[in-house]
Chains A and B, each alone.
Chain A
């Protein structure tokens, strides 16, 4: 056989590069789009589109950036195997890896950036993991974690064939770009061959950005490997009650935080009940979370921002993944687009839930006729391309669909008219196109346009709500370095929507307001509206580095809302100051700004709304410090305050309806602590603690009350450890203050509870009972929530594919955490309603 006769050879060319973390003052080798949260050097960095952050030119172009930096030097040589399959197919070329080297010089992460397939990628990865380096060092000699590009070159050379073997002209030979000897050291000595890219630590425009990396996203226990569910483990994020899939950030409400996928706003992020998110983890490169004081780039929100970045599909041949677990099954296929020379890649993925298989029978057993068992889908298509140097384009299409239909024959005593057909379906699609262009003169232009479609349909007995929405979202940002110490980001964005809303519903009560009567017997409003709304905005932001240690980001944003002819001006200012530049680094940070959020459409449109109301407004303040403790361990402490005013709230109207007005105000204050062990070859984990208070007053003369999602203490500790032999184990512990409720029956264990209290009135028109709250609104806190989640992963690496299995156990000791209070029919008794029991989820995953 040819393969057996072939003399394995390869050229090992260390054309390499050094990914360096350099201080703010030397961070000028970036292209302006780089972001990072704290100063850090732990992993490859990517910009908003998931692109690796690289200098535009190798070598000299980055010399200044690298001045004073000692590059990692290989200390050994490892030889990857030239697989028989590759030789048989005459495959040769380069496998380029992205290798992260820790402070000790060990390779802690190796990924294929471009590969050859036929087992050569795996071979190169295996060899790279055995490499040893001298670590990268700062000018003061402090070692730091760096990422380099490392290239193995596989070549097949023509050799003389023995007589009779004329048909086997090719065979592998062993060699390197600089000769047959191992090149590890020699390559470093040849800087001309070094393709330097800088994974620098340009601080973010925001005061705080929490980035969850891919490995963390996939392995956080209790999330079933779902990336967006991992957000609940970050500081500043409250635990949503029950199965409510909501993001509650720093005391803000569920509608106050916006979610973006690749820069495009998406209306929902979770499928039914928050079990899983609408974008699968496999397609994500990163997840950035801004709990407050976010950049002027983001608007129309006064809570936080979540930006999930889709990753670039792999270019090194065709790859796929399939996963099956108890919740859903999913599949992914990716690779280079044929006939494009590898300049374009694609990924296509889809997922379907299994919830209908078990929840449907349970609902039927409960007496519900299940017309459409609960089911969800989501699907994604990404085409990513770099048609030429400095150009990057991406087209993506993704969507989600959730459906449920029931027939409830038995009404409940206190909502007797709510029975019959119950239907709920939500869906959305996004078609997005982005084009990023590096311009001459340290300038860059990023453009995005997205077309969206949304559909929400809900029906219950005589009530229904139907919304069909077409939307256009566009953003263009021009980034220009004005001087070595000043960069300008100026942009416009436009959100435009045409919607068709029809509803037949009672007017919504004020949150926390006691019921007047059963919901189903209230006066019903009917409307059908077709409207067109335009929300243009412009923003400008400067990134100023007046000194080596100081970074100031002033910003300014102007939003216009055509429906109520309102103009919102939002000035913002963020700043960072490096107190100690050497290891262990200390950084102070602070921010303030105005954040406006337009009213919800029902608040501004008939039949319930009014065009006279204006935007909700929040003033964000934050002050914090970041401290390196060890090479792997960082601690961040941050205090925040939000002053809220002009909040939209409903009042009783003399015509019997409700009227909305900007009468409410409030605040949220708190502190966050994050102790994070950055991912290394074995471990990642963090401890986060949030202390907070969030209150509102529903009118100028009305008393202040806490909001139901106010959670005084939120403590999360998690970690995941690679044992070896493909095993990884993890655990997450959560301790969270209980949610707040308005009790209708007093706590019978309380001495102040009067057992003879009349807690409800008989409502003659319906036969139901209307409760009379036994305390001020949102004053009874449910018992402490505590939960342990466990996760075990095992993977097997085969020649051409990889098999993985996991067991994710949510609520491992089956704690009956209280989610709400349940009452008897006439509100004379109460009992706690508990949440999810232990939920083990077993999954199997194969990928090639």
Chain B
């Protein structure tokens, strides 16, 4: 597991303070697609694109890492959260956060997480009424701005029940397993129980809300609830987290601390101009240097038990890396590192354009496998 420095950097104004355009970021590959489409379907209109997931512009949980993504019955599993506030307060500094963890939902029918929500709501309501929390199943803490963006800064440990597997009947086919759900939330305000309400069939709304100083519920830029799952198999199979050994910028490792931040030149194009280009037109990003960002992930994909393709070839776990930044623009936020059939893909580099505003910025790389394993690395870039 790799962690970054807890040093609080002096950062550039947060993305959320700037006017963002919903228009697409333009890169050669995307342009080629659009030009091809436009030439073939001459009257096809241009659809607006959303902000990419790699663009950290609000409160974001970047990763939930379990120290073992496949657990054994009866053992303790430590979960860690990496969270950053891309919106910030009026000064552009990260806001204080309340972090909550809640475990205790095991083996819901059909493995459906939302069948835990009613129980979750009852427990939240009990907490709101002053009932004591179940020891070992709930944790609530406050995160300081210094912990903003620090990989795995917020921890929670859950004891896996001894009977998590055996309480379920063995299936007619496939592996015999149990499943544990852990819910969590990050809130730039104060967490409070919410009435259990169902808008969509089967799935209730999340029974927790995040209130601002005036007691008003906050939106997704300030409140991120979530859940994760942990499998325990009867055959006690294990899965190792895929390591992220670092991030390279144009082939050079990025500094892990703000003090040693890697220096790049600003891209003097405003967000509005970056998004102004429309289908088939030239883009202003051509005047900027496109940097190559690479997460250093070794070839660690494991063969999965009893997993073969249609020709009998053993399948590996799929591994991918997600890139995030609180400044600049990534060409692609997710890259495949290891394909289930092909294996390791050495080229999982993405292009990154520096932001317009000078300052200190953070880049993250989160490597995951399909079995719940993950690891996080953060680097710092100073834009001049």
Contact = CB atoms under 8 A, between A and B. Distances in A.
Interface of A: 358, 361-362, 365-367, 409-413, 416-417, 419-421, 457, 459, 461-462, 464, 466, 502, 504, 512-514, 516-517, 520-527, 606-607, 651-658, 703, 705, 742, 755-767, 770, 772-777, 814, 816, 823-826, 828-829, 831, 833-834, 837-839
B115 interface: yes
B122 interface: no
A607 B172 contact: yes
Interface string B22-36: 100000010011011
Interface centre among A367, A762, A823, A837 (most CB of B within 10 A): A762
Interface in B176-197: 177, 179, 182, 184
A657 to B, nearest CB: 6
B63 A767 contact: yes
A524 B174 CA distance: 8
Nearest to A514: B203
Contacts of B35: 365
27 contacts: A367-B33, A410-B336, A416-B320, A416-B368, A419-B339, A462-B318, A464-B309, A512-B201, A514-B202, A514-B203, A523-B174, A526-B308, A606-B173, A652-B112, A657-B171, A658-B110, A742-B201, A756-B218, A761-B225, A761-B226, A762-B224, A764-B226, A767-B322, A773-B201, A773-B203, A824-B50, A838-B43
Contact of A420 (B37, B44, B111, B336): B336
B171 A656 contact: yes
Contacts of B62: 767
Contact of B335 (A409, A513, A703, A755): A409
Interface in B265-282: none
Given A420-B340, A514-B114, A825 B206 contact: no
B112 A516 contact: yes
A366 B336 CA distance: 16
Interface string B60-71: 011110000100
A520 B50 CA distance: 23
Contacts of A412: 334
Nearest to B222: A756
A124 B17 CA distance: 83
A758 B225 contact: yes
B370 interface: yes
A318 B345 CA distance: 57
B306 interface: yes
A420 B318 contact: yes
Interface centre among A412, A461, A653 (most CB of B within 10 A): A461
Given A366-B33, A410-B334, A765-B229, A758 B44 contact: no
Contacts of A756: 217-220
B374 to A, nearest CB: 7
Given A413-B53, A417-B318, A775 B200 contact: yes
Contacts of B206: 758, 761, 772
Nearest to A518: B370
A654 B168 contact: yes
B19 interface: no
Contacts of A826: 53, 220
Contacts of B368: 416, 765-767
Contacts of B41: 837-839
B49 to A, nearest CB: 9
A761 B227 contact: yes
A464 B177 CA distance: 22
Contact of B32 (A365, A512, A770, A776): A365
A314 to B, nearest CB: 38
B4 interface: no
B287 interface: no
Contacts of A652: 108-112, 115
Interface string B207-238: 00000000001111001111111010000000
A654 B333 contact: no
B240 interface: no
Contacts of A512: 201
Given A764-B227, A775-B199, A462 B111 contact: no
Given A362-B37, A417-B318, A526-B306, 15 more contacts: A367-B33, A409-B345, A413-B334, A416-B334, A419-B339, A461-B318, A502-B310, A521-B372, A523-B174, A764-B226, A772-B199, A773-B201, A777-B201, A834-B47, A837-B43
Closest 5 A/B residue pairs (Cβ):
A652-B110, A773-B200, A764-B64, A764-B228, A762-B226
Contacts of B304: 462
B47 A513 contact: no
Interface centre among B115, B171, B206 (most CB of A within 10 A): B171
Contacts of B69: 765
B332 interface: yes
Nearest to B170: A655
B318 A656 contact: no
Interface residues of B, number: 88
Interface in B309-359: 309-310, 315, 318, 320, 322, 332-336, 339-342, 345
Contacts of B315: 462, 504
Contacts of B224: 762
Contacts of B225: 758, 761-762
Nearest to A462: B340
A764 B184 contact: yes
Contacts of A365: 29, 32-33, 35-36
B206 to A, nearest CB: 6
Interface centre among B48, B115, B315 (most CB of A within 10 A): B315
Interface string B287-310: 000000000000000001011111
Contacts of A773: 199-201, 203
B223 to A, nearest CB: 6
B319 to A, nearest CB: 9
A767 B374 contact: yes
Contacts of B223: 758
Nearest to B48: A831
Contact of A777 (B111, B200, B306): B200
A275 to B, nearest CB: 14
A367 B322 CA distance: 17
A526 B305 CA distance: 11
B36 A362 contact: yes
Contact of B201 (A502, A653, A703): A703
A655 B304 CA distance: 21
Contacts of B333: 413
Contacts of B91: none
B169 interface: yes
Interface string B234-274: 00000000000000000000000000000000000000000
Nearest to A358: B40
A367 B374 contact: no
Contacts of A361: 36
B40 A362 contact: yes
Given A514-B114, A758-B223, A759-B220, A829 B36 contact: no
B383 to A, nearest CB: 24
A358 B37 CA distance: 10
Contacts of B220: 756, 758-760, 826, 828
B113 A464 contact: no
B118 interface: no
B64 A765 contact: yes
B203 to A, nearest CB: 5
Nearest to B206: A758
Contacts of A657: 110, 171, 174
A44 B52 CA distance: 62
Contacts of A362: 33, 36-37, 40
Contacts of A758: 205-206, 219-220, 223, 225
Contacts of A419: 318, 320, 336, 339
A656 B111 contact: yes
A526 B174 contact: yes
Contacts of A417: 318, 320, 370
Contact of A654 (B109, B318, B340): B109
